[in-house]
Amino acid sequence: MKTAGIIGHPVAHSLSPVFQQAAFDYCGLDVRYERWDTPADVLATRVASLRWPESLGANVTIPHKEAVFLLLDELGGQSARVGAVNTIVNREGRLFGFNTDGPGFVAALKNEAVFDPAGRRVLLLGAGGAARGIAFALGEARAAEVAIWNRTPERAARLAGDVAATGATVRATGSTDPAGFDCIVNCTSVGMEGTGTEAASPCDFATAAPGALAVDIVYKPENTAFLAAAKAAGLPVLGGLPMLIYQGALAFELWTGVPAPVEVMFEAARRALDAQRR
């Protein structure tokens, strides 16, 4: 039996074990996916254990996406530019780091919202780890412009500069006004379950263009105040679950070389969310 798991602190809330195990089982792979709650003082030991022959690798979540950098042998994909790793792959004892957040987000846009960011203007609310991956991925997907807002303007400016250095058209903005944008993405924690901000939205859609897509990367609750406000304004919406699934599907494929059973992963995650609501 092979193993994989999720490294973070805490990880009890993570849906990854639910849908990743469902994918391994569906594909007939003898793999056990585990939760590895990992405080910072044992991170190096945990990562070192991924070199064992029975290990496929791991997903990495808060707060270790940056700290794992120095513990890996090579970085692949966008991880070096983004400055964060969310997937580790064991290849014959060498550890490779990847970031599937941004590509997973773009895959969710294209496959679930039928929205291609190429040539479109996107307003990104937030400049944290998830926003970094998404901003770089939107640049790679040839978005016409990405405007980044953050309550700390310096963080927005820093991220905009990092992404613009790749040749993408990116700028910082001091406004959350959605006017003129084709897509508005909430990458903040506003509206997330357990934050005390569940009734709040970081954006007012009164000036949004007809047909602009509102995307929230929060998946608990599935219908955030941000999405509810967009729906009330008559706009199409996309919740956070598709990004979670597609980034996980990319990790699955990096570990196994097998096409991910995306619908099976969606079904398992939705069942788990429904059970948590009861």
Give the SS3 label for residue 32.
strand
Q: Please report, for the chain, the start and end positions of each structural domain, with discontinuous segments joined by +.
A: 2-99+242-277, 114-235
Asked if the model's pLDDT at residue 66 lies above 90, the reply is no
Asked if the model's pLDDT at residue 13 lies above 90, the reply is no
Q: What digits encode the pLDDT tens for the residues 211-266? A: 999 999 999 888 999 999 999 999 999 999 999 999 999 999 999 999 999 999 99
Give the SS3 label for residue 5.
strand
Asked if the model's pLDDT at residue 77 lies above 80, the reply is no
2-99+242-277 architecture in CATH?
3-Layer(aba) Sandwich (3.40)
* pLDDT at site 194: 83
Task: Give me the mean pLDDT over the 168-195 stretch.
Answer: 94
**Strands 94-98 and 87-91, sheet pairing:** antiparallel
Least confident of 70-84, 107-121, 146-160, 198-212: 70-84
Residue 68 CA to residue 86 CA, distance in Å, equals: 9
Asked if the model's pLDDT at residue 278 lies above 80, the reply is no
Residue 132 CA to residue 163 CA, distance in Å, equals: 8
Asked if the model's pLDDT at residue 41 lies above 80, the reply is yes
Residue 230 CA to residue 54 CA, distance in Å, equals: 46
2-99+242-277 and 114-235, same CATH topology: yes
The closest of 23, 17, 18, 22 to 4, measured between CA atoms, is 17
Asked if the model's pLDDT at residue 84 lies above 90, the reply is no
* pLDDT at site 113: 97
Q: Is 15 exposed, middle or buried (0-12, 13-18, 19+ CB in 10 A)?
A: buried
Instruction: Verify whether residue 110 is a known catalytic residue.
Output: no
Q: Residue 238 has which token pair? A: 């996309």
The closest of 63, 58, 135, 73 to 103, measured between CA atoms, is 135
Q: What digits encode the pLDDT tens for the residues 44-54? A: 999 999 999 99
Asked if the model's pLDDT at residue 83 lies above 90, the reply is no
The model's pTM: 0.93
Mean confidence (pLDDT) of the chain: 95
* pLDDT at site 272: 94
Catalytic member of 65, 110, 220, 231: 65
pLDDT band per the 50, 70, 90 thresholds, residue 82: confident
16-26 and 262-277 helices, crossing angle to 10°: 140
Asked if the model's pLDDT at residue 23 lies above 90, the reply is yes
* pLDDT at site 241: 96
Q: Is 211 exposed, middle or buried (0-12, 13-18, 19+ CB in 10 A)?
A: exposed
114-235 architecture in CATH?
3-Layer(aba) Sandwich (3.40)
* CA R_g for the chain: 18
pLDDT band per the 50, 70, 90 thresholds, residue 62: confident
pLDDT band per the 50, 70, 90 thresholds, residue 78: confident
Could you write out the DSSP letters of every residue in 125-149? E--SHHHHHHHHHHHHTTBSEEEEE
pLDDT band per the 50, 70, 90 thresholds, residue 40: very high
